Amino acid sequence: MLFNSPIFLLVFLPITLAAFYLFGRLRGPAAAVWVLLVASLFFYAYSSLFNFALFSATVVANFLLGFAIARVSWSARAWLICGIILNLCLIGTFKYSGLLVSSIDRLFSLTFVVPHLLLPIGISFYTFEQISYLMEVRASGRSEPSFVRYALFASFFPHLIAGPIIRPHQLLPQFHVPTLGRFDWPQFSVGVTFLLFGLFKKVILADGSAAFATPVFSAAQAGAPPGLFDAWGAAIAYTFQIYFDFSGYSDMAVGLGLMFGIRLPFNFNSPYQATSIIEFWRRWHMTLSLLLRDYVYIPLGGNQKGRWRRYVNIMLTMLIGGLWHGANWTFVAWGGLHGLFLMVNHAWRAVRGEREPNFAGRWAGRTVTLLAVIIAWVFFRADGFAAARLMFGGMVGQNKWLTGTSAQGGAWLSKLLSYGGINLPVGWPAGGLVELLWCMGMLIIVWTLPNTQQFLLGEGRTEEARLAWKPTPAWAAAIGISCGMAFTYVVVAENRVSEFIYFIF
């Protein structure tokens, strides 16, 4: 069930909200927890009963493992290792067995049968979250005594499918508060606004950018070399697509949590405004970055064993982070490229020092950082190295200037605007102009506007900022019109719902 689908927005969510607050008012927080658990399990079972059965088995197993780690002190470490191995074997079987077998098959020219297992939705997220639970139990010596609350921690539907990755200490205590299930209008209104912002990001900004990126990457996958403008246009469009898609999902998750009185961590902090790759990874997919730092980088030694060992640890962490995203060597290449960027960035800081750059230096750093990120996204988006080579060949001018493939995306915007009586021509040069204007608009948004939490909550925003949300009729009308356009386009105009990118990870 997708957050941007009519069945979720018009059926599942209203029923769940009504039951949550009704039972919370009549029977208290324990009943509210039960309502959320039943709704979350139904939400996941809706996609696949096999996925639901597998997920349920992991929840039971990890709850028992946590109990053993906390209660059997003489073998706590052994139980922890057993739990980590069990979870990693689970994700390894379903996510990486095909990659491993096919790689060995190609390397040694064998004739293995490559397994094609259906990837359970959200397995990358709930596996790492349950590993973090076992780690925290080992560190504190205390496990969650209630299976119901633990099951809700693992299955809470706003973050179950694609994050943000939640640590137990961030979520479990919120299920114990005596006010759970009591309606809070200010918090609920902020939650609804987060949800609408995320919906607009996904349906209008992300899907609009995908219309320019997908035709070129698909053509490259089929062996058609893109032109210079097409290749760069697609790479830049995908840069905006993945940001608005994933940050849109994260905003919707935060908003849904607030609507139930639950605070989830933010996952993005204007990453394309970063002035260095180091800063970029402090702003992009922040819950994953912190998880990799705490459970991979620091255990490897971090920066405590010399400069060169630090570089090795950075590269290993980024390679693992790349592999976490998908069972394809292009993801490893993406992680390795970012690892190289980080090594260069740290080496540059060691030479230059920690001096604060001036205005020109900040904008130069921001431009170079975004350019590096765009180049790396080609590996992330390409379906294989052959497609990536064609894309990079187009970006360095090996092919003609343009093929007109990316300009097909202008049809998406033209169709959207046609519902309002505005007709745009499609095809080069008109389609190319539409694409250029679209990407320029996206760049202005990510470089100059506050992000969602700054806009709605004032986090990191100066007091004198003019562009700030307030619960006023004017803001309600503006947000309602914008998000109404997004909802109408999906439900009425197109009658289609596109998946979020991170659903496949």
- Spatial separation of the C-alpha atoms in residues 223 and 320, rounded to whole Å: 29
Cβ-based neighbours of 358, under 8 Å, separated by 6 or more: none
Neighbours of 363 (CB within 10 A): 13
Residue from 41, 36, 6, 3 nearest 19 by CA: 36
Residue from 182, 138, 133 nearest 154 by CA: 133
E-only strand ranges, 35-128: none
Phi, psi angles (nearest 5°) of residue 288: -70, -40
DSSP state of 503: G
325 in catalytic set: yes
- Per the CB < 8 A criterion, the answer to whether 402 and 227 are in contact is yes
Tracing tokens 């980080």 back to the chain, one arrives at: 342
- Spatial separation of the C-alpha atoms in residues 275 and 41, rounded to whole Å: 42
Tokens of 415: 């169709």
- Per the CB < 8 A criterion, the answer to whether 424 and 414 are in contact is yes
Tracing tokens 């803001």 back to the chain, one arrives at: 475
DSSP per-residue string spanning 233-273: HHHHHHHHHHHHHHHHHHHHHHHHHHHTT-PPPP--S-GGG
- The residue annotated as part of the active site, out of 285, 325, 338, 346, is 325
Phi, psi angles (nearest 5°) of residue 4: -95, 20
- Spatial separation of the C-alpha atoms in residues 35 and 24, rounded to whole Å: 9
- Spatial separation of the C-alpha atoms in residues 102 and 492, rounded to whole Å: 43
Question: Would you name the residues annotated as active-site residues?
Answer: 325
